[in-house]
Structure 1
Amino acid sequence: MILEIANIRIAPGQQAAFEEAIQRAASTVISNAKGFKGYKINRGIESPELYVLMVFWETLENHTVDFREGPLFPQWRAIIGPFFASPPHVEHFSLVAKS
């Protein structure tokens, strides 16, 4: 399993609207993507405009090819993109250990 982590900074004062939008986008768009296994969204405490989106994928290609190059990505970005204060920083991780 692959973990995608996206650090998302939104415009100040848009937290409630962004949280509704990203939950809607996750449940109606990304959840239909090939290899999608689940997600978590966390909001910063010290920086309430900063969010960490964690998406679990079966393979790296499920995110980088199937989703990012497919028809669902523009739908996803249309819902959450207007809230971005800057482009999200995205990286992928593989599990080393867990408890």
Structure 2
Amino acid sequence: MILEVAVLQVKSGLSDEFERNFKQASTIISKIKGYISHELQTCIEEDSKYILLVRWETLEDHTEGFRGSAEYLEWKSLLHHFYDPFPTVEHYTNVDLG
């Protein structure tokens, strides 16, 4: 499993609209091959800052499958205009501590 992590800085005053659009965008991403789950959390200290966590079966399911899809264009049109600056997306995997 791969964990995609993005810190989202939403432009001031647009949080409510962003959350409405994100709810719609959630239905898009949840249908993509390799998608496992996602969550969006808002920052307690900064009300226009969010963290997006998406679990994928493989890195390629996100970087090639989703980002190369027509669905990604719809996701992008719903959400990308809210960000300033544009978020950095990173991918993580579990550390075996066993």
**Fold conserved (TM > 0.5)?**
yes
Equivalent residue pairs, number: 97
- The letter of the residue matching 2:80 is G
Q: Which aligned runs of 4 or more in structure 1 are off by greater than 4 angstroms?
A: none
Matches within 5 A, 1:64-75: 64-75=63-74
In structure 2, the gaps of 5 or more residues are none
TM-score of the pair, normalised by structure 2: 0.92
Q: Aligned equivalents of 2:52 and 2:76: distance in 1?
A: 14
In structure 1, the gaps of 5 or more residues are none
Query: Could you say which residue in structure 1 is the equivalent of 2:16?
Result: 16
| Residues 59-80 of structure 1: CA deviation (Å, up to 9, x unaligned) | 0000000011121111101001
Query: Could you say which residue in structure 2 is the equivalent of 1:77?
Result: 76
Matches within 5 A, 1:2-81: 2-27=2-27, 29-81=28-80
RMSD over aligned Cα atoms:
1.3
TM-score of the pair, normalised by structure 1: 0.91
Matches within 5 A, 1:78-93: 78-93=77-92
Q: Aligned equivalents of 1:97 and 1:85: distance in 2?
A: 35
In percent, how many aligned pairs have the same letter?
35
